[in-house]
Amino acid sequence: MNTSRRILLTALAGLAVAPTAVAAAVTSPVPDDVTVAEERFARVIAAAHAPDVTCARQAERYADAHWPEYVVAAKAVLDARV
pLDDT digits (tens, 9 = 90+) for 8-64: 666 666 655 555 555 455 444 555 688 888 899 899 888 888 887 778 888 888 888
Residue 72 is inside which H or E element, if any? helix 71-81
Q: What integer pLDDT is reported at residue 57 of this predicted model?
A: 86
Mean pLDDT of 56-77: 88
Q: What is the distance of C-alpha 3 from the center of its chain?
A: 15
Mean pLDDT of 53-79: 86
pTM: 0.57
Residue extents of the structural domains in the chain: 3-81
Q: What integer pLDDT is reported at residue 80 of this predicted model?
A: 84
Please check whether residue 61 is in contact with residue 37, taking contact to mean a CB–CB distance below 8 angstroms.
no
